[in-house]
Structure 1
Amino acid sequence: MNTVRDLIRQSKTLTGPFPEFPINEAPGLPHELFLEWFQTAIDHAIPEPHSVALSTIDENGAPDARVLIIKDVDQDGWYFASSSLSKKGKQIEFNPNVALTFYWPGVGRQVRIRGKAIKMDIDQSANDFLKRGMMARAIALLEKQSSVLKDQLEFEEALAEGIKRIKQKPDLVSPSWVLYRVMAKEVEFWQADEERKHIRLKYTLEHNMWLRELLWP
C-alpha cells in the first residue's frame, strides 16, 4: 500500500498537452506577453489565474512567501495591495526587493518577476481599499494581520465591530492600506514541455530598454 510520501514521488507532472510558445512572435515588452498568457489561462479555465506567490526578505535576511491576488498589470508593473503593518508590509519597508511567481499548471506556464515594490499614493490605495468587499474591509480595519489570536470568539467579536463601523461610515479606509507596484527588472516566462524540453524566455531591463534572451531548460 502506498503511503502519502510514496505518492509525492509518484504524482504525475507536466502531462499536457500544452499551448505552443512561438518565441519569435513574443512582444518586446514583458507585460504585453504576460497579458497574452493571462488570457490563455482564462481561456483554459485555470482557477484563480490572478493568484501569485509574493516573496520578500525579512530583517534577518531570511526569505518569506505567501500567495495573494494581483490587482492590475500595465507597462509600469504588477500591482498588489496589503496592510503596511502586516509582516509582508514590514518586510517590504525593510527591503523593497521582491519576487512574484505565477504558475498555471493546466497550460504548463510559469512567470517569474523580480523587482522593487513601490508604494502608490494615498488616493490610489484608498480607491483599492474601497473596491474590496465589506468582509475584507472589516478584517483589514482590525489591523491585526499575523498577530497571535487568543481564540476564534475574539476574532468574531472584533469582526462584528468592524462591520458595524463600515455600515456607519461606508467610505472608511484603513490608514495602513497600501497599493504596491512591483517595478520589474527581470521577467522570465517558462513554457513546459511534456518531454522536458522546456522553453525559457527572459526579459531584462537595462538602461530603460527590455532585452530578451533564451535560457537553457
Structure 2
Amino acid sequence: MDSSEVRDLLAQAPLMARPLPPFDPDAAPAAPTALFTSWLAEANAAGVLDPGAVVLATAGADGRPDARIVALRDVEPVEAGWVFATDAASPKGIQLAQQPAAALTFYWPAQGRQVRVRGDVTQATREVSLDDFRGRSPASRVAGLIGRQSTPLAALTDWDLAAEGASRQLGNHQDAHPPGHTVYTLAAHQVEFWQGDAGRRHVRLSYTRATDGGWARSLLWP
C-alpha cells in the first residue's frame, strides 16, 4: 500500500463530519477535575467505547518519547491526580523511575473531544498498590502474575502455559500478587480540554496550576 492509498482511505472519513456537542468555556468549572468528570459522564452516556482508555506518554533516561494505552483507574479531585497502574519492571515503569513525569491524552471520537494532562508522577504506597491488584478481575490478576511485560515471546502457547500456572497459583493463594504491581498518580500541572468543531472553530481551554494551588484558565488558538 503506497501513500496515495492511505490518503484515499483517510478521505473516506473526514475529521469531524458528524454532529458534535457544544462547549461553552465560560461555563466551565474552576477545577479541571470537575470538567473531566462531567465530560467522562457524557462520554459514557453517549456510548463512547472504553472512555477510560488513555495514551500514557513517558520518556526514559535517553530522552526519547514512548507511548501506549493504559486504563485510567481514578481521578483524585483535591490533588488533581490521574491514577493508573503498571508493573514497575515494565518499560513504562522503568521510564517513570528514570524520569518521573508524564503526559496523558484522552480522545473520544464520537464527541470530537480530547483531554491532555501533563504533570509529575509519584508511586502510591505498597498497601494501595496491593489493594488495587486485589480489586481486579481474575483474568487481570492472572495476567499480572504472569509478568514479563514487553519481553520477547516465542509462541502464544507459551503464554497459555504461563496463564495456567498463574491461575493455579491464584487458586491456591488468593492474595498472590506480582511484586512490581504499582499504582501511579500523575499530579497535573496543566490540563487542556479540546472540543472539535466541523467548521474547524475548535475550542481549547487550558487549566494551569497557579502558585497558590488554584487554577488559571485561558483559551488557546485552535
* Range class of TM-score, shorter chain: over 0.9
List runs of 5+ in structure 2 lacking aligned partners.
none
Instruction: Look up the match of 1:159.
Output: 163
- Greater Cα shift, 165-174 or 147-156: 147-156
Instruction: Look up the match of 2:14.
Output: 12
User: 3-state DSSP class of the match of 2:132?
Assistant: helix
Instruction: Look up the match of 2:194.
Output: 190
TM-score, normalisation: structure 1: 0.96
Instruction: Look up the match of 1:39.
Output: 41
Structure 1 segment 18-57 matched on structure 2, within 5 A:
18-57=20-59
- Equivalents in 2 of 1:8, 1:20: separation in Å? 25
**Structure 1 residue 82, shift from structure 2 partner:** 0.4
List runs of 5+ in structure 1 lacking aligned partners.
none
What one-letter code is carried by the residue in structure 1 that aligns with 2:24?
Answer: P
- Equivalents in 2 of 1:203, 1:5: separation in Å? 35
Deviations, residues 95-137 of structure 1 (Å, cap 9, x unaligned): 0110000000111110000001110111111111011122221
- Equivalents in 1 of 2:46, 2:156: separation in Å? 38
- Equivalents in 2 of 1:94, 1:216: separation in Å? 34
Instruction: Look up the match of 2:215.
Output: 210
Q: Does 1:112 align with 2:119?
A: no
- Equivalents in 1 of 2:215, 2:6: separation in Å? 45
Structure 1 runs of 4+ with >6 Å offset: none
**Structure 1 residue 9, shift from structure 2 partner:** 4.1
**Structure 1 residue 29, shift from structure 2 partner:** 0.5
**Structure 1 residue 60, shift from structure 2 partner:** 1.4
**Structure 1 residue 4, shift from structure 2 partner:** 4.3
TM-score, normalisation: structure 2: 0.94
What one-letter code is carried by the residue in structure 2 that aligns with 1:191?
Answer: Q
What one-letter code is carried by the residue in structure 2 that aligns with 1:8?
Answer: L
- Greater Cα shift, 58-67 or 134-143: 134-143
User: 3-state DSSP class of the match of 2:179?
Assistant: coil
What one-letter code is carried by the residue in structure 2 that aligns with 1:24?
Answer: D
Q: Does 1:79 align with 2:49?
A: no
User: 3-state DSSP class of the match of 1:3?
Assistant: helix
User: 3-state DSSP class of the match of 1:73?
Assistant: strand
Q: Identity over the aligned pairs, expressed in percent? A: 38
Cα RMSD for the two superposed structures:
1.3
